[in-house]
């Protein structure tokens, strides 16, 4: 992180000059603008201070205190943006949006499909203002089709895309994913398409409208499984932490730390790794057993082997198991917790956790960009905005509104 932040004055920004109006909320939409801001785009995030956006209500919170200016989730999704609060239901608020569209190259939004059209702020209306606009809508199921009006958060997406069905032990209820999984997938594919559209606009001058559905993005990450069904009718099922090819393959209890349970993941890809694991456990007898030489043989004894491994790992710290097995060439890693995250050596080496000054909390932490670029590195320039933090500067500097006009908007309750 130090290299990137200290070099920022001299290194060029990949997306310098790109202007983004971010009308989205929660996770899937805001992560797109976050990535653009990291690489030099100017991103204006529009919110309502009356209908407070969901991510501000979600854990984790600074100091563990629930507060709409304290969510680290919101902070992670919105670092580096300018914040504007606006009453989008008012004609005056909608005019501010139109003016911002005139300023912007890109609009990102995640309203329920059809909502923007009611306000006459849909793509067809906005492209009149900005013919080469690149506009991206992200929603649960897309802008059209029988499910388009489906209300929902990412957990609805993970049910309809097949992930809910594919997480869990085979003798228990489907567990589902950790959080709204398609919120983690959708913005990645959205960003790829958006960047490609910007490259196309650069070359041809043509704008684009992009419709991203979280359900479809999620299914894309299950392409092999859904194709398997089409190929021979196989329906993928959940099977705990086991793998169809690799045995053993699991998550095992390690020695507790300060009363907190700890775990370590171990996977064996071939016979050599199996022998290395057995020897690391001090079980030469297992290493020499012919019936365990093949994956099929180990599969036949999988439950027994998992018990033996669990007994061995339970006496050791997770990191010790990781280090010991990695030294023997066996894939293994401690299950990294939030407590570990700040100090995990490889993430620390990459500067993945970035400390930023924060007006209310003194400092905050966000994740670094997920791609390190050697010539035009990205980094969050500042913490996510407080509600309405940049109302004045956005209207004055970006839209050239004069003081009287801004005052009228404020007094009219438009900047809320």
Partner 1 sequence: MPSGLLEHLRVLDLTDERGLLCGRLFADLGADVVQVEPLGGSTARQAPPVAEQTGVSLYWETYAAGKRGVSVDLDDDASVERIRALARVSDVVITSWPRALVERLGLDPLAVHEDNPRAIYTVISGFGWDGPKAEYADTDLVVWAAGGPLAPHRDGDRPPLRISVPQAYLHASADAAAGALIAVLARAQHDCGQVVDVSAQAAIGVATLARVLATAVGDDHPEWQTTPGRPTGGRTDQSGSGAATPNSLKKWYCRDGMVELHLSMGPAAGAFTNNLFRWIAEEGGVDEPIASWDWRVVPDQLVSGELSHDQLDEARAAVRAFLLGKTKAEVLEGAIERRLLCMAIFDMSDIAGSPHLAYRDFWGAVPMPGADAPVAVPGRIAQVRGPAGPMVAGAAPAIGEHDDVVFKEWLAR
Residues 271-310 that bind partner 1 (CB under 8 A): 273
Q: Does 141 bind partner 1 (CB under 8 A)?
A: yes
Residues in CB range of 256: below 8 A, 6 or more apart: 262
CA angle 89, 103, 199 (to 5 degrees): 115
Choose between 195 and 293: whose C-beta lies nearer to partner 1.
195
Kindly tell me the sign of the dihedral angle through the C-alpha atoms of 234, 236, 238, 241.
positive
Q: Does 312 bind partner 1 (CB under 8 A)?
A: no
* Site stretch for partner 1 (CB under 8 A), options 83-91, 102-110, 204-212, 294-302: 204-212
Among 29, 30, 93, 207, binds partner 1 (CB under 8 A): 207
Nearest CA among 127, 129, 134 for reference residue 198: 134
Choose between 231 and 285: whose C-beta lies nearer to partner 1.
231
**CA 38, CA 194: separation in Å to the nearest integer?**
15
DSSP, collapsed to helix, strand or coil, labels residue 202 as helix
Q: Does 373 bind partner 1 (CB under 8 A)?
A: yes
Q: Does 156 bind partner 1 (CB under 8 A)?
A: yes
Task: For the CB of residue 94, give the shortest distance to partner 1 in the complex, in Å.
Answer: 22
Task: For the CB of residue 411, give the shortest distance to partner 1 in the complex, in Å.
Answer: 26
Choose between 152 and 385: whose C-beta lies nearer to partner 1.
152
Residues in CB range of 301: below 8 A, 6 or more apart: 291, 292
Q: Show the site string, 110-139: x = touches partner 1 by CB under 8 A, - = not.
A: -------------x----------------
> Pairing between strand 19-23 and 106-109?
parallel
Q: Does 46 bind partner 1 (CB under 8 A)?
A: no
Q: Is 199 exposed, middle or buried (0-12, 13-18, 19+ CB in 10 A)?
A: exposed
* Site stretch for partner 1 (CB under 8 A), options 82-90, 280-288, 338-346, 394-402: 338-346
| Distances in whole angstroms, Cα of residue 322 to Cα of each of 130, 252, 263, 317, 347 | 55, 11, 10, 9, 16
Task: For the CB of residue 410, give the shortest distance to partner 1 in the complex, in Å.
Answer: 25
Host H or E run for residue 363: strand 362-367
Tokens standing for residue 76: 């992670």
Q: Does 237 bind partner 1 (CB under 8 A)?
A: yes
Task: For the CB of residue 119, give the shortest distance to partner 1 in the complex, in Å.
Answer: 19
Among 9, 375, 404, 411, binds partner 1 (CB under 8 A): 375
Nearest CA among 144, 147, 206, 212 for reference residue 183: 212
Among 79, 97, 185, 356, binds partner 1 (CB under 8 A): 185
Neighbouring CB atoms inside 10 A of 256's CB total 12
Among 37, 121, 126, 212, binds partner 1 (CB under 8 A): 212
Establish how many alpha carbons lie within 13 A of residue 311's alpha carbon, considering only the half-sphere containing its beta carbon: 10
* Site stretch for partner 1 (CB under 8 A), options 88-96, 200-208, 385-393, 404-412: 200-208
* Site stretch for partner 1 (CB under 8 A), options 92-100, 292-300, 325-333, 384-392: 325-333
* Site stretch for partner 1 (CB under 8 A), options 287-295, 332-340, 380-388, 389-397: 332-340
Q: Does 223 bind partner 1 (CB under 8 A)?
A: yes
């Amino acid at each position: 992180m130090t290299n990137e932040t200290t070099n920022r004055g001299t290194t060029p920004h990949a997306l310098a000059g790109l202007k983004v109006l971010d009308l989205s909320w929660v996770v899937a939409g805001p992560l797109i603008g976050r990535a653009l801001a990291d690489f030099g785009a100017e991103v204006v995030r529009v919110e309502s201070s009356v209908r407070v956006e969901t991510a501000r209500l979600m854990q984790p919170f600074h100091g563990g205190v629930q507060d709409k200016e304290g969510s680290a989730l919101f902070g992670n999704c919105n670092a580096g943006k300018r914040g504007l609060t606006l009453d989008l239901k008012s004609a005056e608020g909608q005019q501010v949006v139109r003016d911002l569209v005139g300023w912007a190259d890109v609009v990102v939004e995640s309203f329920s499909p059809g909502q923007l059209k009611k306000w006459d702020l849909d793509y067809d209306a906005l492209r009149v203002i900005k013919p080469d606009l690149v506009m991206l809508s992200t929603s649960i199921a897309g802008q059209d089709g029988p499910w388009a009006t489906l209300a929902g958060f990412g957990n609805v997406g993970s049910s309809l895309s097949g992930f809910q069905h594919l997480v869990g032990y085979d003798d228990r209820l489907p567990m589902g994913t950790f959080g709204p999984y398609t919120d983690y997938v959708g913005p990645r594919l959205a960003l790829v398409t958006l960047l490609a559209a910007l490259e196309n606009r650069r070359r041809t001058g043509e704008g684009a409208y992009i419709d991203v559905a979280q359900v479809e993005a999620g299914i894309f990450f299950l392409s092999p499984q859904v194709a398997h069904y089409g190929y021979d009718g196989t329906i993928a099922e959940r099977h705990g932490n086991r793998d169809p090819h690799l045995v053993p393959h699991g998550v095992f209890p390690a020695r507790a730390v300060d009363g907190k349970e700890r775990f370590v993941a171990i996977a064996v890809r071939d016979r050599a790794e199996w022998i290395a694991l057995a020897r690391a456990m001090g079980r030469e007898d297992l290493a020499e057993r012919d019936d365990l030489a093949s994956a099929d043989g180990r599969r036949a004894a999988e439950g027994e082997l998992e018990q033996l491994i669990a007994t061995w790992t339970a006496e050791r710290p997770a990191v010790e198991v990781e280090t010991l097995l990695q030294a023997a060439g066996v894939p293994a890693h401690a299950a990294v917790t939030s407590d570990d995250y700040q100090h995990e050596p490889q993430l620390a080496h990459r500067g993945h956790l970035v400390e930023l000054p924060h007006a209310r909390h003194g400092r905050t932490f966000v994740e670094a960009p997920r791609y390190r670029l050697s010539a035009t590195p990205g980094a969050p320039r500042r913490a996510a905005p407080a509600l309405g933090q940049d109302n004045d500067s956005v209207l004055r500097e970006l839209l050239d509104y004069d003081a009287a006009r801004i005052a009228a908007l404020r007094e009219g309750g438009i900047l809320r």
